[in-house]
């Protein structure tokens, strides 16, 4: 099993996603002789998982069923164990695009944290690129190495436990892109410039506070970065539902009926808007935003090495 090389069959030692519904899923380490409890009953790894195809519908001991999915960076972001605050797909997508990351790219990242963005970057740079990720906290760095090894991507990533603001990324003039998610990114701008290739490399800094953004932008200008811009991504979800609106009185009813294109005398058109003309309303589908939307996550500041 690998997050970048997808397989068909569930094997002993794989990480799989148990899917109970869009709002209910969790990761499981597949091991011979192990069982997993769900609200639908027990899943026995030896008989219910190992040897089955990913995407299979598995019946639990109480008669309910779940799907077993192959892990992806997107699914891992939704299910990973949180060691720190993480980046979600909304921000990850724009970061990957604006940094121009592609297969074969060399990317430097700090800090590693829970590895949400790391998995997405690894999948993007595979099979010939590489991620150099720096984590200040020793236990988090060791846990990240363990996860990358279990997920079959350790050959695509190098994890370093050090302070990026003092010691940098450990590489020079090779990176196509640098990403910073640390409390004081302005202290690491010089090291980021040293890690980037000679010309045209891109940098991104993620900061929750605008004061951090201001100091980071000043540091970028000081080190000669150009095309500096800051943006914020807000996710707004819409619900599609049927609503009714009153029909304004614009003239004769017969003329209104003919303009709709429906034959109201035809029984097959009883479900059409004509069926509601007598009551003075018409129904149609509309997209309505949720009353509560996801708020601020952080500011993304991008720049180019001149």
Q: How far are the Cα atoms of 91, 193, 201, 214 from residue 228, in angstroms, in the given order?
A: 18, 14, 13, 11
What DSSP string describes 174-198?
-BSEEEE-SS-GGGGHHHHHHHB-S
Write out the DSSP string of 232-258. Answer: ------EEEEEEEEEPP--S-HHHHHH
* For residue 127, cis peptide bond before it (omega within 30 degrees of 0): yes
116 in a labelled binding site? yes
Check whether 115 is labelled as a binding-site residue: yes
CA distances from 245 to 46, 139, 248 (A): 57, 59, 9
- Residue 91 annotated as lining a ligand binding site: no
User: Would the annotation count 48 as a binding residue?
Assistant: no
User: Is the omega angle on the peptide bond into residue 237 within 30 degrees of 0, that is, cis?
Assistant: no
249 is in an annotated binding site: no
181 is in an annotated binding site: yes
Structure tokens at 234: 């807000």
What is the DSSP code string of 24-59? EEEEEE--TT-EEEETTEEEEIIIIITTSBTT-EEE
Q: How many Å apart are CA 38 and CA 20, to the nearest integer?
A: 9
Q: Is 201 annotated as a binding residue?
A: no
Residue ranges of the annotated binding site are 114-117, 135, 163, 181
Residue ranges of the annotated binding site for S-adenosyl-L-methionine are 114-117, 135, 163, 181
């Amino acid at each position: 099993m690998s997050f970048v090389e997808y397989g068909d069959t569930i094997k002993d030692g794989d990480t799989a996603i148990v899917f109970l519904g869009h709002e209910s899923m969790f990761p499981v380490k597949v091991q011979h002789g192990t069982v997993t409890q769900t609200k639908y009953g027990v899943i026995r790894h030896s008989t219910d998982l190992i040897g089955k195809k990913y995407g299979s519908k598995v019946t639990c001991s109480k008669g309910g069923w779940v799907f077993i999915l192959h892990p992806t960076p997107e699914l891992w972001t939704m299910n990973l164990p949180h060691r720190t605050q993480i980046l979600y797909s909304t921000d990850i997508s724009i970061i990957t695009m604006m940094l121009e990351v592609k297969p074969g790219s060399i990317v430097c990242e700090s800090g590693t944290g829970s590895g949400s963005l790391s998995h997405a970057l690894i999948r993007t740079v595979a099979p010939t690129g590489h991620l150099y990720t720096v984590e200040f906290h020793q236990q988090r760095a060791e846990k990240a190495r363990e996860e990358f090894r279990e997920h079959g991507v350790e050959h695509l990533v190098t994890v370093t436990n050090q302070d990026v603001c003092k010691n940098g990324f450990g590489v020079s003039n090779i990176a196509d892109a640098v990403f910073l998610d640390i409390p004081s990114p302005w202290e690491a701008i010089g090291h980021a410039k040293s890690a980037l290739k000679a010309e045209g490399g891109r940098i991104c800094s993620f900061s929750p506070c605008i004061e951090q953004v201001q100091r980071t932008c000043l540091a970028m200008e000081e080190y000669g970065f150009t095309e500096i811009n800051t943006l914020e991504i807000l996710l707004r979800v819409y619900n599609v539902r049927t609503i009714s609106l009153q029909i304004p009185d614009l003239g004769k009813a017969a003329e209104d009926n003919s303009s709709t294109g429906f034959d109201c005398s035809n029984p097959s058109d009883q479900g059409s808007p004509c069926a509601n003309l007598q009551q003075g309303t018409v129904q149609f589908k509309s997209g309505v935003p949720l009353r509560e939307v996801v708020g601020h996550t952080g500011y993304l500041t991008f720049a180019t090495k001149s």
